């Protein structure tokens, strides 16, 4: 059966007005951006009034390292990763963004092996 992907999002896209703005984590450099799950608009920080970037030729380069934000190993950010992003935490604390938990819209559930996670000691 397909596995549901948990996606944290911070509201809805002002461009298409229907897509949730998911927190997408670059698999190469760990940079986190706001990615509309519907129209693939991307904001690289909490300033949603700024014009977004869009996918180019079906791919979406990371603003920091230009690796693909769509292809693996890029993924929806985990709660732990979100907590490490200063601008996100600041925006959440000031109420500019509201962190919510949802499920990724993408119907193509990934079916092969999940990446190995190193056990983090506490």
Question: To which residue do tokens 């963004």 refer?
Answer: 97
Burial class of 58 by CB neighbour count within 10 A (0 to 12, 13 to 18, 19+): exposed
21 binds Zn ion, rule: CB under 5 A: no
Residues 1-20 that bind Zn ion (CB under 5 A): 13, 15-16, 19
106 binds Zn ion, rule: CB under 5 A: no
> Cβ closer to Zn ion: 10 or 111?
10
Percent helix, strand and coil across the chain, each to the nearest 5? 10, 25, 65
CB atoms within 10 A of CB 70: 14
> Cβ closer to Zn ion: 60 or 91?
60
DSSP state of 7: E
Query: Binding residue for Zn ion (CB under 5 A) from 7, 25, 26, 60?
Result: 26
CB atoms within 10 A of CB 94: 9
Residues 49-78 that bind Zn ion (CB under 5 A): 62, 64-65, 67
> Cβ closer to Zn ion: 14 or 121?
14
Tokens at residue 6, please? Answer: 């948990």
- List residues binding Zn ion (CB under 5 A): 13, 15-16, 19, 26, 28-29, 31, 36, 38-39, 41, 62, 64-65, 67
């Amino acid at each position: 059966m397909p596995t549901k992907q948990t996606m944290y999002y911070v509201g809805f896209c002002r461009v298409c007005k229907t897509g949730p703005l998911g927190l997408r984590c670059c698999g190469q450099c760990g940079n986190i951006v706001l990615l509309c799950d519907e129209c693939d608009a991307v904001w690289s920080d909490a300033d949603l009034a700024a014009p977004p970037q869009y996918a180019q030729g079906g791919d979406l380069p990371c603003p920091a390292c230009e690796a693909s934000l769509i292809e693996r190993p890029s993924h929806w950010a985990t709660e732990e990763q979100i907590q490490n992003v200063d601008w996100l935490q600041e925006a959440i604390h000031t109420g500019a963004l509201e962190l919510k938990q949802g499920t990724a819209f993408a119907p193509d559930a990934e079916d092969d092996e999940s990446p190995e996670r190193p056990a983090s000691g506490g």
